[in-house]
Amino acid sequence: MFNVRRQLLLTAMCMAAGMGVSAPASAQEFPNKTLTIVVPFSAGGGVDTIARLLAEKLRATLKQNVIVDNKAGGSGMIGAMAVVKAAPDGYTLLLGSAGETAINAFVYKNKMQYSPSKDLAPITLVTRIPNVLVVSPAFPAKNIEELVAYAKKNPGKVAYSTSGVGNPQHLNGELLEELAGIHMVHIPYKGAAGQLIDVVSGNVDMTFVSYTAAKGFIKDGKVKAIAVTSAKRTSFAPDIAAIAEYKPLANYQLENWFGLFAPAGTPDDVLQKLNAAVTQAIKDPELAKKLQDQGGEPAPMSTQQFRDFIKTESVQFQRIVDTAKITAE
């Protein structure tokens, strides 16, 4: 009887040891099935376009099928929540923007059903998306210095449009008001088309919007490009000055950005393999050019660099949201 029990014990130990050895092996074999990149916005938008460009490159790099799944709604939070609830195995990923991964927690507060810092594992930053500040042709300013001077002489009379409350465009306006010491009126729209058309018509003085959405209007002379919101001029529109070039606004910098995330608890070696694959894809000259054509600056980072980046960005976002008392219903 003793020998039988001893044999059973040895067998169980061997099985346990075998299981301990096989777990890392499964991670080393990653990926061995289709990966899904969840886009928390509708098809055809900027995030969706970049996700599909990235998926195309990752199929070759990872030698697996990579599909894009659009789960729009809730200011990006429905799609993010779907990834939070997914198995932490690296097969369901989120291409998220600054909104649902770093801003909404301060705007929506306890209305959010997940914590970006606790429930999502950063993989890498993919691209930074500066907004461009454009004004109507009739607006009496051709650069940021003249715009600030005009706004100071006309407090509360300059109106700017954005695609919603509490998003990076809105924060661009609030930061400009704070650093320049001016007071403007924020008019939120439900998309870039409406916010731009009303600037073209002169119903609204100016807007913060992606360069991709505005470049056709800029080229046709329907709006005037005043400045970009990045710290320096961009590679895709080097003729447009940065707001920070105006010395009183030297500290101005606020961009939207898109990054790749996995559910919290995803094994670190899987995160590192994904980071390496995405970094390789982004550094490909063909994809880098396509990202620039979308108004983005390719910006791959290590997982730790991306975590640190999000923390730094979140500090600025929270300060602006709290100072401006921004809340969303």
- Average pLDDT by consecutive 10-residue portion of the chain (329 residues)? 45 44 56 98 93 96 97 95 98 97 94 95 97 97 97 98 95 98 95 88 96 95 97 96 98 97 98 97 94 93 98 97 91
Give CA–CA dist 290/295, Å, rounded: 9
Domain with CATH 3.40.190.10 in the chain: 131-249
Supply the DSSP string of 216-266, one letter for each residue: HHHHTTSSEEEEESSSS--SS-TTSPBGGGSGGGTT----EEEEEEEETT-
Output the pTM of the full model: 0.89
Give CA–CA dist 325/167, Å, rounded: 13
What 8-state DSSP symbol labels residue 242?
A: B
3-state secondary structure of 86: coil
Closest CA to 80 of 101, 66, 64, 110: 101
Give CA–CA dist 249/255, Å, rounded: 15
Task: For residue 188, list its beta bridge partners.
Answer: 162
Which residue in the block uniquely carries the two structure tokens 């300059």? Answer: 158
Domain with CATH 3.40.190.150 in the chain: 34-129+256-324
Task: For residue 297, list its beta bridge partners.
Answer: 128
> Does the domain at residues 34-129+256-324 carry the CATH identifier 3.20.20.80?
no
The CATH class of the 131-249 domain is alpha beta
Structure confidence at residue 326 (pLDDT): 95
Structure confidence at residue 191 (pLDDT): 73
